[in-house]
Structure 1
Amino acid sequence: MKSQDEMLEDWCRALLQALELDNVEIDVNEVLALAGVAAHSVVRPAAPLTTFIAGFAAGLASGSGQSTDVASMQAAMAVARRFATDYAAAEAPGA
């Protein structure tokens, strides 16, 4: 029986292939970490929304030639992570 990590990696590769993105590398753990930050800093449903928006932003940056795929993904996830953390701090009682 496959572990959860193996299943996620298999799912990621299969989905990338279905979307004709065979050559794209995804750091599954980094995406899940970003989802965790959003879920704990904002609310749980912010996790998929945050990762989707970060991915969309990365795709736009990469597709327009502003940056490489990897750099676009790293930059978008860094902004989303920082924004979620700052959002939580701003929403904290007494902030």
Structure 2
Amino acid sequence: MLNEWTALACKELGIDPARVDRDLILDLTKDVAHGVARPAAPLTAYLLGLAEGAGTAPQDAVERLKTLAANWGEATAQTLTGD
């Protein structure tokens, strides 16, 4: 079902399905859902799409987001305290 959905969604949006690394995106959203919050996962996928559209390499953006999710507690504390 996921392959069919991906193919149909890509066709609808005019995206080459070969450009979609489904497993990379699912792995990222899993890390975000477990490390940050479940609702952050689809939002992160959307932000990843915006970043790619703006010219950021997807692999680079994914690695940066995965690092951010893994360090979420520390990143939040630093943001809140300004340290």
TM-score range, shorter chain: 0.7 to 0.9
Identity %: 34
After superposition, residues 34-73 of structure 1 pair within 5 angstroms as: 34-61=28-55, 72-73=57-58
1:46–1:23 distance in 2 versus 1, CA, 3 Å: closer
Does residue 78 of the first structure (1) align with residue 67 of the second (2)?
A: no
Structure 1 gap ranges (5+): 1-6, 63-71
Q: CA RMSD in A?
A: 1.9
Displacement of 1:22: 2.6
What number of residue pairs does the alignment pair up? 77
Runs of 4+ in structure 1 over 4 Å off: 89-92
TM-score under structure 2 length normalisation: 0.79
Contact 1:37 1:81 in 2 (8 A): yes
